[in-house]
Structure 1
């Protein structure tokens, strides 16, 4: 499983996806180890066969032993390679899961920061409105003294809607709070 497919999994949940991938790789590792154990068992059988073949002429015995030994070495090499690949994939998946979890935490922190920044902007705008009133078109809310103005992407609601939203936030402020004087 690549990092891209891991991050694009539906209903993204880093821990759950990582756990499933780890279980799958652990199953593959167990299968490879079982194959290795089977190859070891076959080796014992072949050794017994070699002992039985000790009764045949020396040349035939040597040829048979060489063939069996070559096949067994190939099987053992393939099993070892498979186990190494599965272990590496398991390690990569664990690292990807940790990176995804860190990214999720970073996104949560950034989301909280943006919420706080938004609240601060709304409170500052409310101070301006309470102190100076509003001017501009119905879709734009700004301080008459131009000390505070919302960014353009946040000036899409009618004035009364902005007033309602502003009034619902920061009730601890009062009409006597001075304008912040922030230029946007």
Structure 2
């Protein structure tokens, strides 16, 4: 699939008024005057990149209706070639797996990289088996309560006693005058 980019370098469609094209592009891109001035600076500006052919044509047509001449350029995408490692020779006997370990045979070149993986051989539990390790019943903590005793019913439990009322103030030195 080819990818395209849309670029604009300030060219207007023949017969279009530049100020009207600026206003149309400002409305189309919802851009302020500073960004529109940058579009008309004469430099080539990439508007959108990595578009498929249909989307690139939509952008070009919309800009042409606004009065601007846009360039549609096909991008040259370089695909990096990766060489896979050759599979191990089939004539060599596979090393013996350690007891309790699973020996993995590669199915293709990609999986050949995992041929020397030493994986534990996990079994499958029977249907309905409990997979969690068994735990004993929880033990109650050993707490020494010998220093505590019970008070008889209705006894004072040691609540704080209210402070005694303060003595009334001495008013013997006061006199009433008429």
Q: Same fold (TM over 0.5)?
A: no
Per the normalisation by structure 1, the TM-score is: 0.25
Per the normalisation by structure 2, the TM-score is: 0.25
Which entry has the higher C-alpha Rg, 1 or 2?
Answer: 2
Which has more helix, going by share of residues?
1
Which has more strand, going by share of residues?
2
